[in-house]
Chain A
């Protein structure tokens, strides 16, 4: 069974940093691209970042470019999102999801990031 478990969320002040993790199991992690998607009540679902299976291709939404860094450790079946210079508008539930072509076929349960002073 495919499982994705996010962790690392929490309360952080504006300008601060957080590192999210996603532990994958039940599939050959190194064979799949992955992405991060976030959700807020106001903006709905927003794609954040994509990383190919070998980390050779990485893309970011304009809203996080230059502040967030996606990475993965295939030996440890783990996906990461380093978030720096956090803003109020980054407050959201962050999901990791497995990517097959343009679709996300498995999602984690999400980890909540709250940016507030």
Chain B
């Protein structure tokens, strides 16, 4: 099974900061990597799909990059409403998938 490792597990940053979260796959997953945002008490929300494609309606300050085993989610200028837990998710075929353990983002 493919394992996904996110880092850091938690992160504190200031409004306006550039924030980077990384996700590493245990084997090559090409670009089959998605990112989700989850706010407390809410369901996950899709932000980025296939490593770098911005989901409709998601602010352009969010971006994704990477391929193979190493991926990055970047928030170019942190906003107060971005406080959430972020998850990466790989799919090694069109049905099964695995999530990372999450990165909790807080305001400093």
Chain A interface secondary structure, helix, strand, loop or mixed? strand
User: In which size bucket is the chain A interface?
Assistant: 20 to 34
Residues of chain A contacted by B91 (CB below 8 angstroms): 101-103
Residues of chain B contacted by A101 (CB below 8 angstroms): 49-50, 91, 94
Knowing A44-B102, A45-B87, A102-B91, the reply to whether A109 touches B96 (Cβ < 8 A) is no
Check A59 for interface membership: any CB of B closer than 8 A.
yes
Residues of chain A contacted by B43 (CB below 8 angstroms): 95, 107-110
Check A1 for interface membership: any CB of B closer than 8 A.
no
Residues of chain A contacted by B101 (CB below 8 angstroms): 44
Residue of B nearest to A46 (CB): B99
User: Judging by beta carbons under 8 Å apart, are B99 and A45 in contact?
Assistant: yes
Number of A-B contacts (CB under 8 A): 62
Which of A50, A102, A105 lies in contact with B55, CB distance below 8 A? Answer: A105
User: Judging by beta carbons under 8 Å apart, are B96 and A105 in contact?
Assistant: no
Residue of B nearest to A105 (CB): B46
Within 8 A of B (CB), among A1-37: 33
Min CB distance, B82 to chain A, in Å?
A: 19
Within 8 A of A (CB), among B1-44: 32, 34, 36, 42-44
Closest 8 CB pairs between A and B?
Answer: A102-B91, A107-B43, A45-B99, A50-B95, A59-B95, A103-B49, A103-B34, A47-B97
Binding site for B on A (CB under 8 A): 33, 44-47, 50, 52, 57, 59, 61, 95, 101-105, 107-110
User: Judging by beta carbons under 8 Å apart, are A47 and B98 in contact?
Assistant: yes
User: Judging by beta carbons under 8 Å apart, are A103 and B94 in contact?
Assistant: no
User: Judging by beta carbons under 8 Å apart, are B44 and A102 in contact?
Assistant: no
Which of A57, A95, A102, A107 lies in contact with B97, CB distance below 8 A? Answer: A102
- Measured CA separation A101–B42 after assembly (Å): 23
- Measured CA separation A107–B32 after assembly (Å): 20
Q: Enumerate 25 A-B pairs (CB-CB under 8 Å) in ascending A order.
A: A44-B87, A44-B99, A44-B100, A44-B102, A45-B36, A47-B96, A47-B97, A47-B99, A50-B95, A57-B95, A59-B96, A95-B43, A95-B44, A101-B49, A101-B94, A102-B89, A103-B46, A104-B36, A104-B44, A104-B89, A105-B49, A107-B43, A107-B45, A109-B43, A110-B43
